[in-house]
Amino acid sequence: MNTVIVGTQWGDEGKGKIIDILSAKVDYIVRYQGGSNAGHTVVVDGKEYIFHLIPSGILHPGKICCIGNGVVIDPESLVKEIEGLAALGINIDGRLKISGSAHVILPYHKILDKLREGKRTHRIGTTGRGIGPCYSDKINRCGIRVIDLLNPAVLKNKLKDNLKEKNEIFKKVYNHPGYSFNSLYQEYLRYGDILSGRVSDIALLLNQACRRKKDILFEGAQGTFLDIDFGTYPFVTSSSATAGGACIGTGISPDKLDKIIGVTKAYTTRVGEGPFPTEFSLEFGNLIRGKGNEFGATTGRPRRCGWFDGVMVKGAIMLNGITDMAVMKLDVLDGLKSIKICTGYKYRGKVFKDFPADFTVLTKALPVYKEVPGWQGPINHIRRYKDLPPGVRNYLSFLSDFLGVSFSILSVGSYRSETIFV
């Protein structure tokens, strides 16, 4: 069985916890897009682990974790994560496989990311990890791939070509001194040496695994509305964060995907700039941010918080072909008198029931809300659906009917055990 885990909002839905739980039942766990802009948080035995590039399934002994061709890899960050796992005594020998076709982030991508943001009238609020500039190089066909780090002659030519053009841009557009070839060349050859034993043909490996009837979990990063095509462009990331990205980013054909699980928070959050129709007022936003510890796992930035946006999640269900959902962080809504759910957007007298592609509508529309009663907490000790307070069940049943999907996993706390399987 091949399952894709995908975020249905703007990322940070709690995919890390779901991936961690489902990893126990599969043989392979694969990242297919994004880079170290992602931060998956997993809490095991009271200890918090944050993963940026390595699939969080690595915490399960014996599982093979892959980084697909669709990911952009910052080797500095990857090597740190590998060393961090070693320091914790987690053995990853033979278990971490990296696609040779994945593109590599260089220091000039990270600087360019920040310099570009500085020049924009409307900032995107990127993570500053060099994601956009690296994917731009990939599309411009001048990117450097993991496999190039293993071939000094190829790396030399590609890096020289890149620096010839980029240093001109750095100096003339950004008044930045640029980069010297030698130090970058030596540094990236060294990364090549460190990573070489883990470089694999991931497409071949996964297709062979399918033939052997192994189970694969595809780990999406970010979320549907940060997708380069279907997100709230230009306030998006630079990769295909929807389920289709799992095929493009690994070399597995669409017919081999059996199940798409959508992950959603019981409310909505967003980091960075961009439209957010259901965003809370400042004071209430601060309250929920504090209760839900809503701070970015990568940058530590406070996340913006808002009510559950049903229009948005309905759109995500359609775009990803979601058959099954996990609802996260229900416990954060404990103790509220009432809870709102956005069921439409109102703009110039018209109610939109589908997520509008028109950016102006999205920015100016007012949410149409359904209000339901809240519940008293705490609920984090509850392990069976039927034991949940009526308010929680009522909220979930409204959401499930509205979205037209069933919920198979409910999360009532950050620990693995604080989970209800429906």
Q: What residues are annotated to the active site? A: 12, 40
Among 16, 55, 132, 249, binds ligand IMP (CB under 6 A): 132
User: And the tokens for 143?
Assistant: 């990117």
Rounded to whole angstroms, how far apart are CA atoms 74 and 82?
A: 12
Q: Would you tell me how many other CB atoms lie within 10 Å of the CB of residue 67?
A: 29
Q: Pick between residue 38 and residue 342 the one whose CB is nearest to ligand IMP.
A: 38
In the complex, what is the shortest distance from the CB of residue 14 to ligand IMP, in angstroms, rounded to a whole number?
Answer: 11
Among 226, 317, 319, 365, binds ligand IMP (CB under 6 A): 226
| Candidate ranges 22-30, 62-70, 230-238, 285-293; the one touching ligand IMP (CB under 6 A) | 230-238
In the complex, what is the shortest distance from the CB of residue 243 to ligand IMP, in angstroms, rounded to a whole number?
Answer: 17
Q: Pick between residue 2 and residue 238 the one whose CB is nearest to ligand IMP.
A: 238
- Angle between helix axes 107-119 and 152-174 (nearest 10 degrees) is 20
Contact indicator for 238, 109 with CB cutoff of 8 Å: no
Omega before 390 within 30 of 0, i.e. cis:
no
Rounded to whole angstroms, how far apart are CA atoms 138 and 146?
A: 12
Among 19, 78, 131, 388, binds ligand IMP (CB under 6 A): 131
Contact indicator for 41, 49 with CB cutoff of 8 Å: yes
Give residues 138-197 in contact with ligand IMP (rule: CB under 6 A): none
- Confirm or reject binding of residue 129 to ligand IMP (CB under 6 A): yes
Give residues 345-384 in contact with ligand IMP (rule: CB under 6 A): none
Contact indicator for 134, 109 with CB cutoff of 8 Å: yes
In 213-289, at which residue ranges do the beta strands (DSSP E only) sit? 216-219, 259-265, 268-270
User: And the tokens for 229?
Assistant: 């095509």
Q: Pick between residue 33 and residue 99 the one whose CB is nearest to ligand IMP.
A: 33
Q: Look-up: residue for tokens 């994945």?
A: 102
Q: Pick between residue 127 and residue 320 the one whose CB is nearest to ligand IMP.
A: 127
| Candidate ranges 4-12, 93-101, 147-155, 372-380; the one touching ligand IMP (CB under 6 A) | 4-12
In the complex, what is the shortest distance from the CB of residue 374 to ligand IMP, in angstroms, rounded to a whole number?
Answer: 26
| Candidate ranges 36-44, 97-105, 280-288, 309-317; the one touching ligand IMP (CB under 6 A) | 36-44
- Confirm or reject binding of residue 99 to ligand IMP (CB under 6 A): no
| Candidate ranges 89-97, 235-243, 277-285, 346-354; the one touching ligand IMP (CB under 6 A) | 235-243
The amino acid occupying position 100 is G
Rounded to whole angstroms, how far apart are CA atoms 325 and 338?
A: 23
- Confirm or reject binding of residue 314 to ligand IMP (CB under 6 A): no
Give residues 241-300 in contact with ligand IMP (rule: CB under 6 A): 271-272
Rounded to whole angstroms, how far apart are CA atoms 252 and 255?
A: 8
- Report the half-sphere exposure of 271 (CA within 13 A, side-chain side): 23
- Note the residues at the interface with ligand IMP (CB under 6 A): 10-12, 37-39, 124-127, 129, 131-132, 221-222, 226, 235, 237-238, 271-272
